[in-house]
Amino acid sequence: MKADLVIRNARVVDHMNEFHGGIAVLNGKILMTGTNDSLPNARRMIDAEGRCLMPGVVDTHCHLGVAFPYDEDMREETAQAARGGLTTVFLYIRNKKPSYLPFYDEKKRVGEEHVCIDFGFHFGIQREEHIHEIPRIAEHTGVQSFKLYFGYEPDNPIGIVPANDGWVYATMLQAAKLPKGIVSVHCENTAIASWIKKDMIASGRQDLGAYTESRPVFCEVETIKRMIFLAERTGCPLQLVHTSVGAGPDLAFEAQSRGVDVTVETCHHYLTRTAYDTDLDMRAKISPPLRDEEQKEWLWRGMLTDKVGSVGSDHVPFLPKKGLDLWTEFPGVVTFPWEIPLLVTHGVHQRGLTIQQLVRVNSYGPAKRFGFYPQKGSLEPGTDADLVLMDLDEERVVEHHGKGTCVYEGMKLKGWPHITVAGGRIVYENGEVDESQFGKGSCITIPENAK
């Protein structure tokens, strides 16, 4: 049998093992993995020249269509994702209308017209009606993942409707009944942070550290503990998203030991930047905020001891930030093109993170947590041929030419994607995204009867 694509002479790595050989692809699926001499002929043969071949990155945390048109973001930002070795992205997306059903139909249709990689959705709970609609949402859309937001005041500049504990409890009760139901929570104690913020504004400070100090570590730790308690009470799987505090992975690990289904996601910016880096100003405002060196290294200890289940980007391409007032500046940065280089440089090369651990937090962990493993995040025959061929030794300096705020510009990173394959299609090669691949990705959060 002749394959469509064979990549050979590679260091093939998944979340547990590695071998020297390659992968054959047919009709968008992995046909087989094996040694070089066991692989079939193919219409396209690629010599990896010893580079590292891994499952494509599954980034389960981004926000598209927030400040720019949704169709534009789905095209341009999934191209940026393909540059970074991403083959699947999940949008945390919000709808203020009473029903998510027509919202989903439109977002799925428009997304599939533009993306070059696969995508899925988590839905934000923005009204009480959304909680009551959860069974119908799961049936109609296939989406079984829901997010609630603390940390935002009612008059926040990006229009998020903040949650309360009652919403969280009720959502968890509903999600716990679903086969793949899961609740994600933005963990910050809003009331305490709002109180501290008043004093900080009165001080006149406009430095990035002032924002961090207005939302101290204990605000996040307290809410993490409270959400773990509610998850234990309801039996609902809990994802702690964009965890910025080192205690987060430890608290989750302790809860797991007594049977609580809780996992931790952190982000590249919390692992590589601090609020006190001298090259950053208010435009590096992120929610939750960047922390200090102690918290950054504590998070790395969680990574190295497998207490962190996934690394998401929280990629959000906002309009150019004004840099005029810290307290009204929009939060958020972009990360898609540099996800692997950041973790390879700061994790693999500098701290001894293994390539298997890299795959666990980049691909296996997020895919498994949201119910898409092994179709995503694996190298098993018959699964989606989502792959990234990595050059672990290539060095480049980060340059940002797209939308949004980049907090990595000028960094020299070692370890870059060489080729990205999504659904058997080569979408990124020779430093360029293949524009013929736009519109060929698919929405993977779909009803069970549509699979």
pLDDT single digits (tens) 328-352? 999 999 999 999 999 999 999 999 9
**Cα–Cα distance, 228 to 237 (Å, whole number):** 9
Confidence of residue 450 (pLDDT cuts 50, 70, 90): confident
pLDDT above 80 (res 363): yes
pTM of structure: 0.97
* CB atoms closer than 10 angstroms to residue 136: 12
Identify each DSSP E strand in 321-446 by its residue range.
Answer: 387-397, 412-422, 425-429, 432-433
Contact 51, 10 (CB under 8 A): yes
pLDDT single digits (tens) 80-93? 999 999 999 999 99
Across the range 405-413, mean pLDDT stands at 98
Contact 57, 84 (CB under 8 A): yes
Q: DSSP letter for 435, please.
A: G
pLDDT above 90 (res 451): no
Helix (H) or strand (E) holding 73: helix 70-83
**Cα–Cα distance, 321 to 403 (Å, whole number):** 11
**Cα–Cα distance, 22 to 215 (Å, whole number):** 48
Confidence of residue 265 (pLDDT cuts 50, 70, 90): very high
Determine which of 113-117, 153-157, 186-190, 261-265 has the lowest per-residue pLDDT on average: 153-157
pLDDT above 90 (res 155): no
User: Which neighbouring-strand residues pair with 262?
Assistant: 238
**Cα–Cα distance, 386 to 179 (Å, whole number):** 25
Question: Which of 44, 63, 45, 42 lies closest to 8, judged by CA?
Answer: 45
Concatenating the DSSP letter of every residue in 239-259 gives EETT--STHHHHHHHHHHTTT
pLDDT above 90 (res 189): yes
Q: What are phi and psi of 386, to 5 degrees?
A: -105, 110
pLDDT above 90 (res 293): yes
Return the structure tokens found at 352. 């001894």
Reduced to 3 states (helix: H, G, I; strand: E, B; else coil), residue 43 is strand
User: Which residues, 6+ apart, have CB-to-CB distance to 215 below 8 Å?
Assistant: 151, 188, 193, 196, 197, 288, 289
User: Which neighbouring-strand residues pair with 8?
Assistant: 47
Q: Please give the domain boundaries of the chain with CATH numbers for all domains.
A: 53-369 (3.20.20.140)
